[in-house]
Structure 1
């Protein structure tokens, strides 16, 4: 069943990626959006646990680390997109399974069989082909430090989930702590940036009236209330994915589960192809085929 849970989690995270991609094309405050995503997770997991009454053991405090890692991964990813080449950062977002496999081997002595290792490598190559961009140049590595941080912290989040299942921490209490931590961090970041905004706006007073009017209409279309509400809606896909990922990590091999979940990028590629009518390159087609072959091999080997 762990394989089914992993694929289901990847599907939820894939829909989350599609919604993120759609939202990125709108004039929206990203920190407020992510605050809504984490706030939604906090409310949903807390309400569910009120009914099912899972125990709040000491192990749930690992959720603080999960929330911090998730926050750092998202913050690093967006910072990388802001200051560096998107292709470089995107490349590293496909590599957390590699980090997870290495850490799992040293922490829990989780070794992969020959078939599992072969399938893992096939999936990883497929992900890299999907993520790799034709404009990636080794001499244009600006932003690579943010890409590396993104890879590490997404990997740390997966490892923390596995550790939580090992120590027997209850799913919903630990997710409540995780999402509450993320909400606090993104809320703080949004508050700080919001406080700086008036001084930033004073630097553009010399813009003409037409541009100011146009920009006002653009920003007013996404009010704070609407942005937060949309973030909470997107958060539903995120929290369901996190709920599903727990049984996957509980029963499956850490690195394999992480690799399957990372396949959520395929949903964004499919969305871009069929909804946005973007053309597929041979590289992307090859990556998708290899990744699905790798998952099929994983299924047969499990």
Structure 2
């Protein structure tokens, strides 16, 4: 049954990746969006637990590091989709098993066999081929950096999830804490950005570098109150993407996130850490298909070779685990 849960998690995370890529191309406030994603997950998990009444044990607090790692991973993935190509970022969302296999060896003694080591080296070879592709441009290199962060911190999220199951933490309280932690972090970033924007506007007005009429000042203040800052640090949102709509859309996207986490935590309870991580990481196939056939992204031969190597390495890890 754990295999079915892992496959369901891969499907949910694949849909999440598509929604992130689509949303990243719209003029919205990223922190508000991801705050909605995480608040949605926390509220859904908490509401479900009101009916199921799962216990709040000591292990539930593993949700805090899970939330921190997931916060960094999701922010990196979203940023990667906004500056790089969807196919490349999708590939890195499939590589957390590399991190998981290595860390699991040191934490729980889950040793690599010869075939597993071969799969690990194949994955690394694929990453290096892509990294040194001459066809990559500056924006795609930036996407590569965000992809590496995504890979590393999703791997740590999986490790934390496994550790939580070893502590026998109940799923719904665990996810309530995890998503609650992420929601607080994204809310803090949002407030910090707004305060910084307001402070910049005040400093420019005080120094006389920006002179506006009384009518324009009133308009700026109205925009700031509604959640849209102005000036060089502003986020220009069209009427169709107000803060309210951005938040609601984030709540909707959050459904895919919390569903995927519920499935993967259940899979980690009974499955081998490396196998579950590898299966759930196959969500990259969904995003790659979306990038190739919907976004019409063209992939160079060297990049295609690197991606095929990475995919082959993941398959080898799965078969060997």
| TM-score range relative to shorter protein | 0.7 to 0.9
Distance 1:115 1:142, change over 3 A: closer
* Structure 2: runs of 5+ lacking an equivalent: 217-229
| 1:176-218 deviation line (CA, Å, top 9, x unaligned) | 00001111111111111122233556769699x9xx9xx9985
2:226 aligns to what?
A: none
Q: 2:270 aligns with which of 251, 259, 284?
A: 251
CA shift for structure 1 position 78: 6.0
How many residues align? The count is: 293
Q: Output the TM-score relative to the length of structure 1.
A: 0.79
Aligned partners of 2:92 and 2:150 also within 8 Å: yes
Is 1:5 matched up with 2:5? yes
Task: Provide the secondary structure at the position in 1 that maps to 2:169.
Answer: coil
1:145-224 matches, cutoff 5 A: 149-200=149-200, 218-224=237-243
Within 5 A, what are the aligned runs for 1:45-84? 45-75=45-75
Q: Which one has the largest radius of gyration?
A: 2
Deviation per CA, 1:240-295: give whole Å up to 9, x if none. Answer: 11011112222222233223333322222211111122234334554565566556
Q: Per the alignment, do residues 25 and 79 of structure 1 end up closer, same or farther by CA in structure 2, a change over 3 Å counting?
A: closer
How many angstroms does 1:224 deviate by? Answer: 0.8
Matched residues in 1 for 2:152 and 2:198: separation? 35
Greater shift, 219-228 or 129-138, is seen at 129-138
Instruction: Output the CA distance in 1 between the equivalents of 2:45 and 2:253.
Output: 15
Question: Aligned equivalents of 2:135 and 2:301: distance in 1?
Answer: 15
- How far apart, in 2, do the equivalents of 1:52 and 1:130 lie? 46
Two-structure CA RMSD over aligned residues (Å): 3.8
Show structure 1 runs of 5+ residues with no match.
none
Write the deviation string for residues 33-67 of structure 1: whole angstroms up to 9, x where unpaired.
00000011011111111111111111101101111
3-state SS of the aligned residue for 1:259?
Answer: helix
- Give 1:118 deviation, angstroms: 3.7
